[in-house]
Structure 1
């Protein structure tokens, strides 16, 4: 969201000219911000309100995304420790809720520290992350079916229907289908990531959209293969959710890995190895998620749209990062995790908040494009033509469906331990944000600020 140019004077002039030309043509591929797109697509009248809604939804989604990764990292680490010290049946150590919260908090703090003091290290870690996930994930997908002593037939994987354990309290098949469709939707986010660096990309008006579509395709196929492999390698479906199994019923993929490797080699070393691979993916995801969340908080603060904006838009004088914004995101994330000690569905709630916020933020520019007069839209080289509006309409309907389903209960009967508190948390946050807009912000918030030529200290 912040224009930043490097290189010699001539190179900087060329890049600036390219950015300005793209802006004139309404390609919207530069600043790397959803709410920049929302502001321009909604037009001068509704632009500020659209960007306000989009920016806050994205902020909520990104901060909750840190919590999602912190919880997932803690969950997998808990199982690694359990299998290293035995099993749940063999006296291994299974972390208590208080210890689990400690792990959750530690991961959040580690990511905040790295994002404050080790920006160059993060760039290196990001490269490791790509190799880690591609190689580790590929080996898991290829090796697990070979290790498993037996695999399920295709009829089981593609046609067998199970409601899950009775402990969920869900007995309605249609309700189960509605929930299961969104099984991994929270991980299919960040579609706009490629746009964040398009100002540094040659032929950005074409290569930016192509990069977005390519990344979605790769992640979707890769994730689908991972889920398929795990499903084919299930040894006993009902045993996966048994609270007395070797992994305490705490993490289903861990039990699938344990059953495969213990069944073949009579030890859990292979399962521990692949759990470390999975843990690394969550750790890297949390690190990059903290970076993204802090940048959005910084940008919204730069535009005056965040409480105490002057504090959160400050850049660390030495490390040139929005350190205050980083620690604000970490603090909010830790507060979100506090119910772990008493509530059973914290992960569900955090995932719901993350997905509704992030997916909802995509819905704002899509809706703006739908209602935008065609005469006001000047397409760039990458354009869907007549299919543009139908695709937008389908996408918007899917977003509405997604946001609705993620607010539904996942356990019955509902009590304070099993209640999905995401609707309450989101309802309170969004009510305050909208009230702020109506009473005050609509008078002065103008959307994203174009800051070409600002002092270098304000650039990231």
Structure 2
């Protein structure tokens, strides 16, 4: 979209990337993220610091400046009470169904806390710093995400124009159109919109980098416990950089394979998001439910403990996980056709079936659970 607007947009002959070019860009970014994650932890930590400041400062610039740049802003009553389903664009006219689907973007954006959880093993005092990092991530994402949505909504110039296939962004990306309308309406050019979209793109880039780091650590942890095929290969640590390089590139390869259907179907991206989110959100369901039903006498709390509030919070969390996973399995476009169908249920069903068959015929005979790598007796690794 940045290139599209910078080269003239939909009304000025802008360059709109084809499916093949888009796939190549997608694959290119995955390779870049994998390469960066193959370096030493110090490099990743440095990039994470840049990411934090980029998203804080860049986010504040967008949140504060966008409503100020917009020629006019919407009223508070419009922002907080107006309801639109946009049936012309989505085929959805049911308000309850639209409310159910509204959880999708907000929950996907909470991915940051999952990354913090997967990297706790590589931090000092993980029993305290881990929970603090998770809560801090949720807090920052919630505040900045809500402020970003408000900035976009207040800056809408013409709601009906946002979904028009003849607008400057070809109706392909509503946030980009909102930003374009704001800058073009005041300055009669798209330079400011391109700059703001570059800020947003930077956030996506750093997000992809962090997600790659998190995914590799999950593969490493599972292979360390002999929980996936060819575990000795994926848990191998680079002798110099001390990172699970093989796990990084396995995640990159899987991501590229999952992206190949983009050449034929636009809904593949939605399916990938659905599968990923169900995977990481649903993964917390078992430990949360276990804590919910576990007898208090059998539970040994750590340094970071919620006390009496733990069970009510676990109940809310478990119900939220069930709701989220169910919502991500629903179609987001109607009428349901090959080009609009949500393929996440099929993909998850196939993978779960293969995993259960693997467990029934092989894995249950040798898998004994997590491998303890710390001697609790003397406190040494």
- TM-score normalized with structure 1 length: 0.78
Q: Which runs of structure 2 are paired with 1:196-275 in the superposition (5 Å)?
A: 196-197=119-120, 200-201=123-124, 205-206=127-128, 208-275=130-197
Report matched runs for 1:142-153 at 5 Å.
142-153=64-75
For residues 324 and 186 of structure 1, the distance between their equivalents in structure 2, rounded to whole angstroms, comes to 27
Match of 2:241, SS state, is coil
Number of aligned residue pairs: give it. 375
CA distance in 1, matches of 2:121, 2:258: 33
Q: CA deviation at 1:189?
A: 2.5
Residue 419 of structure 1: which of 341, 345, 370 is its match?
A: 341
CA distance in 2, matches of 1:424, 1:237: 35
Q: What is the Cα deviation at residue 171 of structure 1?
A: 1.7
- The question of 1:378 aligning with 2:300 is answered yes
CA offsets per residue over residues 356-410 of structure 1, 9 Å max, x none? 0010011111011012112101223443333321221121111101100100001
Q: Could you tell me how far 1:319 is from its partner in structure 2?
A: 2.9
- Matching residue of 1:352: 274
Residue aligning to 1:101: 23
**Residues 1:343 and 2:265 are matched in the alignment:** yes
Residue 4 of structure 1 aligns with which residue? none
| Contact 2:114 2:280 (C-alpha < 8 Å) held by counterparts | no
For 1:124, the equivalent position in structure 2 comes to 46
Task: Give the one of 220, 224, 239 matched to 1:317.
Answer: 239
Instruction: Tell me: CA distance 1:104–1:137, structure 2 relative to 1, closer, same or farther (3 Å).
Output: same
Q: Is the 8 A contact 1:165 1:241 kept in 2?
A: no
Q: Any gaps of 5 or more consecutive residues in structure 1?
A: 1-78, 454-458
Q: Which of residues 198, 201, 209 in structure 2 aligns to 1:287?
A: 209
Q: TM-score, normalised by structure 2?
A: 0.93
Gaps of 5+ in 2: 376-380
Distance (Å, rounded) in 1 between the aligned partners of 2:23 and 2:123: 40
1:118: how far off?
5.8
Deviation at 1:193, TM superposition (A): 4.5
Change in Cα spacing, 1:269 to 1:233, as seen in structure 2 (3 Å) is same
| CA 1:282–1:177: 2 relative to 1, 3 Å | same
CA distance in 2, matches of 1:429, 1:276: 36
Instruction: Tell me, in whole angstroms, the C-alpha distance in 1 between the residues paired with 2:246 and 2:124.
Output: 30
* Counterpart Cα distance in 1 of 2:15 and 2:174: 18
Aligned counterparts, 1:296-311, within 5 A = 296-311=218-233
* Higher relative contact order, structure no. (Cα contacts within 8 Å, ≥ 6 residues apart): 1
